[in-house]
A and B are shown apart, each in its own frame.
Chain A
Amino acid sequence: MSRCLTPMVLNQLESAVGTDHVACVGSVLDAYALDVWCPAMMHVDRGKLYARPDCVVFPGSTEEVSRVLRIANLYGIPVTPHGGGAGDSGGAVPAYGGIVLDLKRMDAVREIDSRSLSVTCQTGMYQVDLEDMLNDRGYTCNHLPASANCSTVGGFLATRGSGVLSSKYGKIENLVLSMEVVLPCGTVARTPGVPMHSAGPDLNRLFIGAEGTLGVITEVKLQIFPLPTERRFRAFVFRDLSSALEAGRQIMTQGLKPCVIRTYDEHDTKVMVKNVLGLERTDVAAYMIMGFDGMQPDIVALQEEHAVAICMNQGGEDLGRGIAESWWAHRYDFYYPPHTLESKHFLYGVIDTIASYEDIERVYEAMRTAICKRFERYGIHFGGHFSHWYEWGTAFYPNFIVRDPPRDAYEAMRLYNDIFETGIRAAMQHGGLLNEHHGIGLKLGRLMDEQYGELFSAFQAIKQALDPNNVMNPGKLGLPVGRYA
């Protein structure tokens, strides 16, 4: 029995959710000690645990979540919400022990409004289950990130995630109409029924991306869409990255609505062209996949036609549909065995950033130069792609791999942190931002005050007001840890 989980507390938790829904046996606690944050996995590899909860609680209703949070407040026990455990920032790692709140029992669909096109569901539902259910009825969420098969709706809300179709359909916050939230003190609150009103700030946005530090989102009403009758993809190569980025910028700023633009940098282009496309081309430096979809095939075709013309004007070479459609069909393959990077004892990560079109190429160059130079001795792989395009800019999604990291878990984490700081600081100096649609979590919290400046104090004040006992997911988002330290 841990220090915080006294028999009295355990008894109260069991009364709150039922004895079958509280676990405090070692093997279960171990299973909840990590998500896919690389340092936590490296600790496991080396026979350690980065952190471990004292118990895991499986609430079945909003009321039960409320009861658990009241108990946690009464005794000052940390609570870490847990969805699919698929985030790579340590957001679901119970850094200071306490209660892990696994929300997956809360997986009911409450309502589908086919007139207003919305679905109301509990947030413990796997996104893939929600999507399957909607597809059966002719609808889609159009929120399809790589982790759609292993993340919950709540996970996407907590991390303010983006799906592969975000350029057209938006990020998760753009799909939220309203939410039910259990505040840290246990109070159940609901945001107004629809967004886009002008009555003060949009409080949905206060909780989206808060990674459970301000409460637990238990139910959400999301916008849905009819399944598109037409969805088509096309691939291009360019002789330089600048031309590809300019093509993407023109597509977005000329009012076209691609559902996908994905532009690979030179390093990843060479890998893709050789290994995926099977082409021996040394004269290309950027590879782009773009997609258009919708309910009217003629409009889809027309949009694609304009986009193709833009790409050709920028010197793009049309590779046709086949390979792009193959990418769509197999886009999740990379995450299944034997390709799972986490299985290979590598040190790896994604240093997600976002910037305006004015800055994005400089951001890219600065990150690449800084990381490749500083970590050359580790034989670091650094490459990435530009995805999630908007009218004003785009996100750069670089990944790094160190194939032979230090054996010691702490030393490996030190290197990991150094790579992230080097990359993000280089980005920030050139107009880029911390982006991380996997969540800030433990990974990047220390950089939050740099990003937000004075406003981070305001965020801290909100946290203090809503969660005076600091029970909700301590250690995340760079918020003060206080008494847990």
Chain B
Amino acid sequence: MKLGERELRTMDEWRFCPMANYICPTARHTKNEINTPRGLALTAFRMYQQHADPDSIGVKAFYQCSMGGLCATTALDDSDVPALVRALRVHLAQSAFLPASVINVRGLLLARTSLDGSEPGDWSLSGAESRAKTLLVGTPWMSDVHAQEYRAAATLLETAGVECATLPEPVDSGAVLAELGYREEARQALQELVAEVRENRPSIVLFASPHDARVLTSFADELGVEWPADVRWRTALEEVGILVSTGRLAFGSKASGATGLVHPSYVVHELQMKVDPALTEAACENLEELRWSGACTRTCGGASLFLSDRELSKHVVRRSLEELILNREVTQLISSCPFLVLEARSAEFRVPVAGMLSFCAQFTGTRRPDG
């Protein structure tokens, strides 16, 4: 088992440290020491030193981490338990004790099939301009929420007069595969995407789901895949923000209810993404960005908890969103991450949660004449 310097340091610093146990959203539900930052680092240490063999519960614990990184925000250095977990998963993905749910997700991802059983519908977009300089990349096949966000991105871009190309066949960035520890499969997926990008020769790629952009910020180096240097990329949501703030996109109406915006922690920390205030002001009269301890949501550090332990995910997201809106009169929530929307929907959370692109797209009615 090979771990990098940062992962080794994280393991050393956390394997006996209980100080962030209370903050861990998974451990707050399971109450089990093995799910805490200390428990994970200790288990990692014992496996790494070959003092203990992996077992089913130990391996499962590494897939029950919400990867939100709240524990990391309490440290005064860059130690990062989710990064350690991610590194361990690369080794555990070959384990005989890998949870069946994770193996199942791998199969679905490789087959480009809906991950939650929902019907994404026909996600092909009419009018996609094959020679456009902007390439919209999405993974609408993952779920109906991903498909909605993908179509909403296209609608918003079209309203702003941005000519977009799309890819006719389903692609995968490899982000979820990488998150689950399937490095080879992730590398292949990303390589295929990069090949498509090279073939289409866009000047910019827009990712409909921020999660897919994450493959470039968090996994590309590890996977050894090079993104074309002459192709810029950003998330579709960032692009929409730019279009609104530069006056190229305006909304015909806006939401009036008290709305909470929930960014998953990977959006904040790994993508360093901020939503342009001009966008939130244009879309909603009363929108508040909800943060927990500066790290936004306590739950969604990616897709893995939702995909690897659906039942646990329900409990964790319900509790965490309740804490996030405590003492607030929020009538709806919006999120930049389709997986958080899926988690909340799966948990039947009492406040409706929508994808942010879909939320904005419902207000498109007019395009500024000077746009």
Contact = CB atoms under 8 A, between A and B. Distances in A.
Contacts of A25: 55-58
A345 to B, nearest CB: 9
A75 interface: no
B16 A27 contact: no
Interface in B10-61: 10, 12-23, 31-34, 38-39, 42-43, 45-46, 49, 51-58, 61
B13 A27 contact: no
Interface stretch (A115-123, A329-337, A396-404): A329-337
B327 interface: yes
B18 A27 contact: no
Contact of A338 (B15, B39, B52, B76): B76
Nearest to A34: B16
Given A30-B42, A44-B46, A337-B76, 4 more contacts: A26-B58, A27-B61, A28-B57, A44-B45
A105 interface: yes
Nearest to A127: B22
Interface string A340-379: 1011000000000000000000000000000000000000
Contacts of A443: none
A128 interface: yes
B74 interface: yes
Contact of A36 (B16, B51, B77): B16
Contacts of B61: 27
B79 interface: yes
Nearest to B59: A27
Given A149-B19, A336-B19, A343-B13, A30 B52 contact: yes
B108 interface: no
A276 to B, nearest CB: 14
B13 A340 contact: yes
A105 B46 contact: no
A338 B22 contact: no
B75 interface: yes
A150 B21 contact: yes
Contacts of B34: 27-28, 31
A89 B309 CA distance: 36
Given A27-B34, A343-B15, A129 B79 contact: no
Contacts of A23: 32, 57
Interface in A117-144: 124, 126, 128-129, 136
Interface residues on B, range: 35 or more
B55 A26 contact: yes
A84 interface: yes
12 contacts: A28-B58, A47-B51, A58-B31, A84-B22, A85-B38, A149-B19, A149-B22, A337-B75, A340-B14, A342-B16, A343-B15, A343-B17
Nearest to A48: B51
Interface of B: 9-10, 12-23, 31-34, 38-39, 42-43, 45-46, 49, 51-58, 61, 74-77, 79, 326-327
Contacts of A28: 32-34, 57-58
Nearest to A340: B17
Contacts of A339: 76
B18 A336 contact: no
B78 to A, nearest CB: 9
B12 A343 contact: yes
Interface of A: 23, 25-28, 30-32, 34, 36, 41, 44, 47-48, 56, 58, 82, 84-86, 102, 104-105, 124, 126, 128-129, 136, 149-150, 332-333, 335-340, 342-343
Contact of A31 (B43, B56, B75, B76): B43
A126 B22 contact: yes
Given A31-B33, A333-B76, A336-B74, A342 B17 contact: yes
B17 A336 contact: yes
A84 B79 contact: no
Interchain residue pairs A-B with the least CB separation, the first 10:
A27-B58, A337-B13, A342-B16, A150-B18, A104-B31, A25-B57, A31-B33, A337-B75, A47-B51, A338-B77
A36 B17 CA distance: 8
Given A26-B58, A31-B39, A31-B43, A332 B19 contact: yes
Contact of B327 (A102, A136, A340): A136
Contacts of A48: 51
Contacts of B49: 47
Most chain A CB within a 10 A radius of its CB, from B31, B39, B75: B31
Contacts of A136: 326-327
Contacts of A32: 33
Nearest to B46: A30
A124 B22 CA distance: 12
A27 B57 contact: yes
A245 B79 CA distance: 40
A126 B22 CA distance: 7
A31 B16 CA distance: 10
Nearest to A105: B31
A397 B109 CA distance: 57
B15 A30 contact: no
Nearest to A38: B16
Given A47-B51, A86-B18, A102 B33 contact: yes
Given A23-B32, A58-B31, A338 B13 contact: yes
A86 B42 CA distance: 14
B76 A336 contact: yes
B281 to A, nearest CB: 30
